């Protein structure tokens, strides 16, 4: 059996079965059932979030964030170095992505380049805490306040990362998260919207459930509600969060010790408590990356190119934004296998192949 870039953590089956039995006893499967409500409370407490909304996936979370902030047209400044869902959400809401290049140390959007991209049509900045590393939240907030812009953070990778003693998901007008099966904490499929603003929170809640209150429909919403079975997986996984984070940290530090000096890594910001969501490695050039993929593939080891291509080069975009740092990094970066259960000897084998 091969070694893949990630593998979902699964709790002991009897722990999940206990929640499933309770679901069967209640006959409540969706519509903000007891499991969903319990998981929301646990995650809100863990993240110290004032308002936390659990939704169907991370992409819907981004779309809901845009709707809740009434961003339905205009330009959104964003990063070209992310998964395609970031830009797809902008396009889906009929907005125009404007790409600003990334900074070369931790690959988040370069705050020093944002201001020159602002036009009269700019409505928001959508940053990505890529790989769980923090955007320049202070710099972005200062720019947004100066120009009257909204700030959304795609925190799909940021669960359990903390910056200056605060959850990284606590920054911005709205932060979103993903609980997809590939993430360090998952509910099979799932996502969340987090905000400190009560009015925004009320809109998010309405929007995720068809805009419906009883017999009243004050907003045109969608079905962003999550099921009891997904929430049950989240509840079962939550009790193992400490061991999940510890395992990922151990594997990451083992990679560090074995690959020291051979592969470039993102630089962690001062004040960041990292979540070890991924193990990104930058190769000297694309040729060396592809050669390493071939050697690893011959051993049934399958890393993945996170993220390729640079989103400003997507074929269906009319964008002409030049993002040379992102385009360069995207050609020669990959994430190495990282998940609880990956054995030390398997990590050593990967590193030997890469040496």
Kindly report, residue by residue over 213-252, the tens digit of the pLDDT: 888 899 999 999 999 999 999 999 999 999 999 999 999 9
Cα(252)–Cα(238) distance, integer angstroms = 21
φ, ψ of residue 177 to 5 degrees: the values are -140, 160
pLDDT value of position 261: 77
Cβ neighbours around 5 below 10 Å, total: 19
Q: What is the mean pLDDT of residues 308-335?
A: 93
pLDDT value of position 332: 97
3-state secondary structure of 54: strand
pLDDT value of position 181: 98
Average pLDDT, the chain: 96
Give residue 117's pLDDT band: very low, low, confident or very high (50, 70, 90). Answer: very high
pLDDT, tens digit, 9 for 90 and up, residues 200-221: 999 999 999 999 988 889 999 9
Q: Which residues contact 33 (CB under 8 A, 6 or more apart)?
A: 23, 26, 228, 231
Q: Which residues contact 104 (CB under 8 A, 6 or more apart)?
A: 325, 329
pLDDT at 154 exceeding the cut of 80? yes
pLDDT value of position 320: 73
Give residue 325's pLDDT band: very low, low, confident or very high (50, 70, 90). Answer: very high
Give residue 109's pLDDT band: very low, low, confident or very high (50, 70, 90). Answer: very high
Q: What is the mean pLDDT of residues 85-93?
A: 96
């Amino acid at each position: 059996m091969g070694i893949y870039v990630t593998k979902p953590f699964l709790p002991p089956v009897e722990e999940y079965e206990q929640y499933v039995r309770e679901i069967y006893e209640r006959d409540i499967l969706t519509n903000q059932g007891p499991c969903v409500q319990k998981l929301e409370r646990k995650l809100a407490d863990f993240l110290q979030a004032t308002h936390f909304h659990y939704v169907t996936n991370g992409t819907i979370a981004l779309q809901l964030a845009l709707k809740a902030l009434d961003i339905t047209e205009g330009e959104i400044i964003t990063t070209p170095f992310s998964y395609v869902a970031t830009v797809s959400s902008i396009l889906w809401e009929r907005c125009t992505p404007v790409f600003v290049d990334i900074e070369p140390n931790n690959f988040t959007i370069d705050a020093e380049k944002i201001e020159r991209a602002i036009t009269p049509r700019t409505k928001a900045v959508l940053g990505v805490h890529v790989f769980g590393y923090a955007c320049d939240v202070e710099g972005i907030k200062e720019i947004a306040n100066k120009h009257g812009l909204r700030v959304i953070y795609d925190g799909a990778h940021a669960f359990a990362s903390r910056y200056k003693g605060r959850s990284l998901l606590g920054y911005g007008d709205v932060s979103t998260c993903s609980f997809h099966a590939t993430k360090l904490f998952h509910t099979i499929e799932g996502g969340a919207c987090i905000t400190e603003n009560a009015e925004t929170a009320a809109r998010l809640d309405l929007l995720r459930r068809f805009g419906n209150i009883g017999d009243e429909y004050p907003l045109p919403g969608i079905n962003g509600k999550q099921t009891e079975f997904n929430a049950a997986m989240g509840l079962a996984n939550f009790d193992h969060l400490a061991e999940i984070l510890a395992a990922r940290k151990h594997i990451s530090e083992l990679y560090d010790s074995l690959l020291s000096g051979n592969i470039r890594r993102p630089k962690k910001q001062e004040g960041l408590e990292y979540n070890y969501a991924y193990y990104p490695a930058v190769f000297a050039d694309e040729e060396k990356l592809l050669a390493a993929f071939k050697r690893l593939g011959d051993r049934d080891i399958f890393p993945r190119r996170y993220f390729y291509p640079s989103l400003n080069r997507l074929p269906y975009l009319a964008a002409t934004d030049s993002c040379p740092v992102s385009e360069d990094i995207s050609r020669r970066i990959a994430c190495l296998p990282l998940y609880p259960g990956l054995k030390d000897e398997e990590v050593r084998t990967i590193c030997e192949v890469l040496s």
